[in-house]
Amino acid sequence: MTPPMKQLSLIELPSSPTHNGIHNGGQRHVESGNRVEKETAPYFHLHGDIPLDLEHDALISLTRPAPPRIHSLGFQPAISFPEFPRWFLRKYATPTFSILEPFAGSGTTIIESLRHEIPVYWLDYHPLSRLICRVKTSEFSGYEVCQEAAKILRQAAAQSATQTEIPTTIYFANKDFWFQKPVQEGLEILRGLITRTGPDIQPILWLAFAASVRKTSDMNDGMILAAKRSHIQEIPKRSRTDVFKTFREYVDKAVEAMEEWGRMVNGVRNLARELPLQDARTLDGCSEVDAIVTSPPYINAIDYVWASKFELHWLGLVTSDQERLQLYEREIGTERLSKGETHQLGQTGMYHLDGLIREIYTGEKYKASKGQNVLRARVVYQYFVDMKQHFASSFKILKPSGYYCFTIGDSSRICGVDIPVAKLLTEFACETGFDKVFQFHLLLKNRKLNIPRNVDWAGVIKHDTTVVLRKPV
């Protein structure tokens, strides 16, 4: 095992809520009938890792050092904090532990499990997430990757100099709107050359290519979903050469991140195993594990398929718009519903939640644009039904006394209705058979996702809540 990471103790705080700015008032959501009200509660300012002697239901604010670069390798909206799985592993893991991560995303839990030399099994429905996690759990020679990239760039420059017309191989809706003609040509040249490289090196090159696709599109920098905001900045004109330079930059960044990561976990990346599953609602066939550590999708907050639309098409991870849309079938709380489903008022059997769904459906708090209230009501219903199925499947593959630990935005506002997501998920899990062991709340300092939204009816997520559940013996 790796040496244990330094354990921090809770800061000694007086009862005064204003002492040196360390102990301030926070807000926690509490249930009152069908309303979610707020109460003032103290939160602790902490530095570094989350302490193991944290009090139950504590509300904390965390100053975090820069994480290893491996965490930011690959695009993933709403990346979970590495301090969350690290805290769980330090507090609950034993030398014989095994972990399952059913919503792998960009691999945060995988990375922290490997740092603790703990076997971790993972899956994700999203092709780009699977590529990201495969790269992070593989070994590459930085020298060989750079040599291959240099060769690709030499060939790309030569091809660009001699070919006026570049054959088109990638098609998807509105491609010409989002990608300038020279950018499309540069990307076509690069992807054709990458497909000719060795299979061992291709994944990391594809990841650098994916970053280049996003960077050279006409989407504004920093946006999660495809959108243009003319008042932010003017989109510059780009050439084929600009595409090649961008690819070179992202190859260098990927190699630097992977080499740093390799020094941290030399020889243990084989402890991570991808499962042949792509739907977290059904974990049949998965071996028993000691713990599930994950960050489920945010409800109604991010369209993960739309967010990675460009990468999915340009990398050939989907071959058509229809195939991309089919990914929604495996998404928790999908918005791609038939008209018949959309107009049905869903009933989960949980009185409090069903009342909130009804408020969204009727527009009692906020009348959204045509059809949005009934759609959002159905999305909320579908999300919790899907998560209930996921909890039931997870319960089956956990060993007796096994843990399920999740972190998620504590509350989401949908059509003006506050949904206490963490609390409701905990209740569904306990109905499945889990016992609640512990929870705490982390203040999110960057509270807004950089996506177009009406905050009057959508709101922002202010806290992540971490909940530890346990399967009885």
What rounded mean pLDDT belongs to the chain? Answer: 87
pLDDT of 43? 77
What type of residue sits at position 291?
A
* pLDDT tens for each residue of 79-130: 889 999 999 999 999 999 999 999 999 999 999 999 999 999 999 999 999 9
Q: Please report the sign of the dihedral spanned by the C-alpha atoms of residue 353, residue 354, residue 357, residue 359.
A: negative
Q: Is the pLDDT reported for residue 18 higher than 50?
A: no
Return the beta strands (E) in 220-328 as ranges: 272-274, 289-294
Give the rounded distance of the alpha carbon of 441 from its chain centre.
Answer: 18
Q: Please report the sign of the dihedral spanned by the C-alpha atoms of residue 429, residue 434, residue 435, residue 440.
A: negative
pLDDT of 220? 73
Q: What is the band of 265 on the pLDDT scale with cuts at 50, 70, 90? A: very high
Average pLDDT (324-329) is: 93
pLDDT of 233? 65
What type of residue sits at position 429?
A
Q: What are phi and psi of 199, to 5 degrees?
A: -65, -25
- For residues 337 and 348, the model is more confident at 348
pLDDT of 231? 54
pLDDT of 424? 97
Rounded distance, CA 23 to CA 370, Å? 45
Which of 7-16, 24-33, 357-366, 446-455 is predicted most confidently? 357-366
For residue 23, give both structure tokens: 């102990």
For residue 4, give both structure tokens: 């244990």
pLDDT of 451? 43
Give 99's strand partners.
120, 291
Q: What is the band of 341 on the pLDDT scale with cuts at 50, 70, 90? A: confident
Q: How many CB atoms lie within 10 A of CB 341?
A: 13
- Cα dist. 408→78, 79, 461 in Å? 10, 11, 10
8 A C-beta contact, residue 414 and residue 366? no
Q: Is the pLDDT reported for residue 460 higher than 50?
A: yes
Tell me the whole-structure pTM to 2 decimals.
Answer: 0.88
* pLDDT tens for each residue of 187-214: 999 999 999 999 999 999 999 999 999 9
* pLDDT tens for each residue of 427-443: 999 999 999 999 999 99
Rounded distance, CA 360 to CA 373, Å? 6
- Reduce the DSSP state of residue 449 to 3 states and report it: coil
8 A C-beta contact, residue 104 and residue 122? yes
- Cα dist. 223→176, 232, 307, 462 in Å? 19, 11, 9, 20
What type of residue sits at position 24?
N
